[in-house]
Structure 1
């Protein structure tokens, strides 16, 4: 009986150790109170945003020192993993970037050189998609679309 109690005690401590390690192992994107600047970098200033239904927001940021835009899709309520994406594209240069996966808090960053160019950008959370076309290019009026699949 003494042997069984020792084995059970060791097993219990082992389970606690594994449980504590698992509880402390947070996915890289699980960051409550995340901001676009935490995702893209402190030099990036938010220049535009679009809601992804009621689930979160896609943010377009710009870094004046290097001419790059960055996009991040951030959930309103971080939690269980969901399919998420963020993307950006400059049609007249053909350059773009994207991030797609299963995340708990945000998708991104996605970067592209956009100084002096119109940009198309967007993202999705679960089954709600948002895209903005012809954005941040002076007198042109951007076009926004949000849809559910």
Structure 2
């Protein structure tokens, strides 16, 4: 039941993050050769990633010095502004962060403290979304879901 609750919570958080910021967000500038480290900070190392169809990749990064995770969704081909989102959520602490809106290159950064906790994270580009639950949990196998809406 806990996994089901965290999946629903993460999905709801992602929808809320995209909906809440779409109306308020200004488009990010197209930044060729953008990396997760350029979005999150140079101290953040990529610990996981997931392709968002053929449109881009969502990255989970971690900063060992402060225990923070950061997520960024980066388009393969920056261009006209489209819906782009990124979110990260820690079910154990019920803490999460997200970014979403009409962006030309990427969404994020979204930061949350995650040291010693399982992480749920994901993002979307246009109408393709990826959601990862139970990530970076030692022996627990993560679950990945890609959907289109």
Give unmatched runs, 5+ long, in structure 2: 1-26
Counterpart contact for 2:28–2:106, Cα < 8 Å: no
Give unmatched runs, 5+ long, in structure 1: 1-26
User: Partners in 2 of 1:140 and 1:78 — Cα distance?
Assistant: 35
Over aligned residue pairs, what C-alpha RMSD do you find? Answer: 0.7
TM-score (norm 1): 0.81
Task: Please give the per-residue CA displacement for 1:17-64, whole angstroms capped at 9, x wherever unaligned.
Answer: xxxxxxxxxx54321110000000000000000000000000000000
User: Partners in 2 of 1:65 and 1:71 — Cα distance?
Assistant: 17
TM-score (norm 2): 0.81
Partner of 1:90: 90
User: Partners in 2 of 1:33 and 1:109 — Cα distance?
Assistant: 16
Task: Please give the per-residue CA displacement for 1:96-131, whole angstroms capped at 9, x wherever unaligned.
Answer: 000010000000000000000000000000000000
- The structure whose Rg is larger is 1
1:102 aligns with 2:133: no
User: Partners in 2 of 1:59 and 1:32 — Cα distance?
Assistant: 17
For this pair of structures, how many residues does the alignment match?
A: 123
Cα distance, 1:137 vs structure 2: 1.0
Give the 5 Å matches for 1:11-90: 28-90=28-90
Partner of 2:117: 117
User: Partners in 1 of 2:112 and 2:137 — Cα distance?
Assistant: 15
User: Partners in 1 of 2:145 and 2:119 — Cα distance?
Assistant: 15
Tell which has more relative contact order, 1 or 2 (C-alpha 8 A, sep 6+). Answer: 2
Counterpart contact for 1:29–1:107, Cα < 8 Å: no
User: Partners in 1 of 2:29 and 2:59 — Cα distance?
Assistant: 16
User: Partners in 1 of 2:82 and 2:95 — Cα distance?
Assistant: 27
